Structure 1
Amino acid sequence: MAKVQTKDLLEQFKLELVAGEGGLEREFIMSDISRPGVELTGYFRYYPKARLQVLGKTELSYFNELSSEERIERSNRLCTDITPCIVISRGMDIPVELINACDESDVPLLRSPYKTTRVVSRLTNFLEAKFAPFTTMHGVLVDIHGVGVLITGQSGVGKSETALELVKRGHRLVADDSVEIRQEDYDRLIGSSPDLIEHLLEIRGLGIINVMTLFGASAVRSLKKIDYVINLESWDEKKQYDRIGMDEETIKIIDVDIPKAIVPVRPGRNLAVIIEVAAMNFRLKRLGVNAAEEFSSRLTKMIDQEKTSVDKGVDYD
């Protein structure tokens, strides 16, 4: 699980620290965000105190209508020993009672100039990305015409060499050898490279090369959604490979099923071109153009025509 501290929000979103400086190293244990409107009325039975608390215009307007004693009592109950921080939106003035409570309990009190919905949306996206399910896979991730293609296969099958050829053809490298994958939504996988080997490519016989230095900044990118998996394997004469493209396999990564293709490797095959065309064909399928289905439809139509001709006793000879 990722380690996220309140000070990370300050650095990421340039929030203003108003009070509770002593609690900037408090850690988040979940990505959920709470807007404690009911709690300001005095009902704290189900108060989600471990969540990030956001107070918008509605909450502060009600809070300011309370008596001084009630504001002190509500502020003290909002600030617990596990509350990561409280964020005030719209750059609004903050009641002194809440500031004092945050200073006494070391709960960071932050302020943002943006609207509440925007603050909640950005903070939610940030925390969900940090707490997203995570795994690492051996392979190469390349952006080919906007399609994130994860190339997998046994060591030495030619993944890195193929990626190098794809980069020379104008595509972009995301990660080589080790791909870090996060599930940022129920059907969305984001791949990136470990910091140690970012922009680097290992070519046997040459060693480590820096793709960005050799080919420029346009040849790399930091992360990419994984759309398609292509597994390279040594050609097996006894195995039947798909020659039409009607069979659609998938591979489960974390909790997401990703379309997968198997490409056999043997001397004379230009893997870079094959993978490039596979990515383009994948894009066409998403746009509703399926060459395999079109061929199958033509074949079926031709068979039906031949059958009809035979039934009618027509002789074309």
Structure 2
Amino acid sequence: MGVKVAALLEKIKFDVIYSSETALEKEITTSDVTRPGLEMTGYLAYYTPERIQLFGMKEWSYAQNVIGDNRYDLLKNVVTDETPAIIVARDLAIQDEMICVAKKRDTVLLQSSETTSRINGQITAFLDEQLAVRSTVHGVLMDIFGIGVLIQGASGIGKSETALELVKLGHRLVADDRVDIYKKDNLTVMGHPAELLKHLMELRGVGIINVMTLFGTGAVKGGSQIDLAVYLETYEANNAFDRLGIDDTQIDLAGVHVPQTRIPVKTGRNVAVIIEAAVMNFRAKTMGFDSTKMFMDSLSVEIAHNKEV
């Protein structure tokens, strides 16, 4: 499944030189963008017509120096019926032959004042997100102190209630119950709410509430990177919980390893505040301040000192 050219135009601003209803319905199936350098010399052995064709100063200058019918034939080879769009950067003047080819191939022709590298970056970032394989996980995604936190646990453990308390503490809800995730790169996984559930939260005994309506626009966020996972579980006296913070537990989300903290839940524990502390501790660790390591180092020194005595 691809992204329609019309969706690209809604996201990124271009001057439209030529378009049609059918051209706007063409689908972009890859985030790769081609600058047709070798192709314009006639070398088409590894040409990929399904990519957006981006013309910068080099490609434009070469086409500008090809005279008359040769220029039309050259562009006709580069732009095929499969080509979703042609983009000319830097507000470079568009040759008549390029407009004729765009009409013949029924391919959207666009112009931008931006540089080729900037256009390439904008298009690639947008298409990478849109074309990424998505999956769904059960839980609540929150933005806490700028850290994306996925709260998980068994049904009825209190995930939504904890999230509501975190919203009251000034943090932002991204998604409740269902979190759509995708891999942005090898180190980054992103989470978004399902369109139908955006800004909504289910509370047992109350029903469905709209967090943005009740708490304002500052209480919600459209999407977030998932930096930390928190798993809530029922406190049992015979369960072994990490009391020093030395466990290095990770979970796999869309092929990305995300650190996980397990928090026992029982009456009297303020889970929202505990999660806040866990997030602050996680952020401190990423900055090189590890309280557990400092404690263990101090303990080792104390033990060594007592042995000497």
Instruction: Please indicate the TM-score interval, normalised by the length of the shorter structure.
Output: over 0.9
1:30–1:51 contact (8 Å) kept in structure 2: yes
Deviation larger for 251-260 or 75-84 = 75-84
Q: Which residue of the partner structure matches residue 8 of structure 2?
A: 9
One-letter code aligned to 1:128: D
Residue 174 of structure 1: aligned partner:
174
**Who is 1:246 aligned against?**
246
For 1:287, the equivalent position in structure 2 comes to: 287
For residue 194 of structure 2, what is the amino acid of its counterpart?
Answer: P
Structure 1 unpaired stretches of 5+: 310-317
Task: Deviation per CA, 1:67-96: give whole Å up to 9, x if none.
Answer: 212211111111212111111111211111
What is the alpha-carbon root mean square deviation over aligned residues? 1.2
- 1 CA distance for matches of 2:209 and 2:159? 15
Partner of 1:85: 85
Identity %: 44
Letter in 1 for 2:26: R
Contact 1:229–1:258 (Cα < 8 Å) also in 2 = yes
Match of 1:41 in 2: 41
Distance 2:197 2:85 in 1: 35
Pairs within 5 Å for 1:230-245? 230-245=230-245
2:190 pairs with 1:196: no
In structure 2, the residue matched to 1:152 is: 152
User: How many Å separate the matches in 2 of 1:72 and 1:215?
Assistant: 59
Q: In the TM superposition, what is the alpha-carbon distance from 1:13 to its structure 2 partner? A: 1.6
Q: Give the distance between the partners of 2:301 and 2:13, measured in 1 at CA.
A: 64
Q: Which of 269-278 and 64-73 deviates more?
A: 64-73
* Residue 224 (structure 1) aligns with: 224
5+ residue gaps, structure 2: none
2:17 maps to a residue whose letter is V
Deviation at 1:238, TM superposition (A): 2.6
**Please, what TM-score do these two structures have when normalized by structure 2?**
0.97
- Structure 2 counterpart of 1:312: none
Partner of 2:17: 18
In 2, Cα distance between equivalents of 1:117 and 1:202: 44
Cα deviation 1:199-227 (Å, max 9, x = unaligned): 11111011111111111111111111111
Which secondary structure state, in structure 2, belongs to the residue aligned with residue 120 of structure 1?
Answer: helix
- Corresponding position: 1:104 with 2:67: no
1:102 partner letter: A
SS of residue in 2 equivalent to 1:300? helix
Secondary structure of 1:289's counterpart equals coil
When normalised by structure 1's length, the TM-score is 0.94
In structure 1, what is the equivalent of residue 73 of structure 2? 73
Which amino acid counterpart does residue 4 of structure 2 have in structure 1?
Q
Cα pair 1:10 1:16 within 8 Å, conserved: no
**CA offset digits 1:40-70 (Å, max 9, x no partner):** 1111111111111100111011111112122
Aligned length: 308
Q: Which has the larger radius of gyration?
A: 1
Displacement of 1:181: 1.1
Provide the rounded CA distance (Å) in 1 between the counterparts of 2:138 and 2:175.
Answer: 10
- Measured in 1, the distance between the counterparts of 2:9 and 2:281 equals 44
Distance 1:101 1:129 in 2: 30
Question: Could you list the per-position Cα deviations for residues 107-134 of structure 1 after superposition, in whole angstroms to 9, with x for gaps in the alignment?
Answer: 1111112111111111111111111232
Kept in 2, the 8 Å contact 1:56–1:88? The answer is yes
Partner of 1:135: 135
Q: Following TM superposition, by how much is the alpha carbon of 1:20 offset from its aligned partner in structure 2, in angstroms? A: 4.5
Which whole-Å CA distance do the structure 2 matches of 1:149 and 1:41 have between them? 51
Conserved? CA contact 1:133–1:184, under 8 Å: no
Distance 2:55 2:26 in 1: 19
For 1:223 and 1:10, locate their aligned partners in 2 and report how far apart those are by CA, in whole Å: 21
Residue identity matched to 1:165:
E
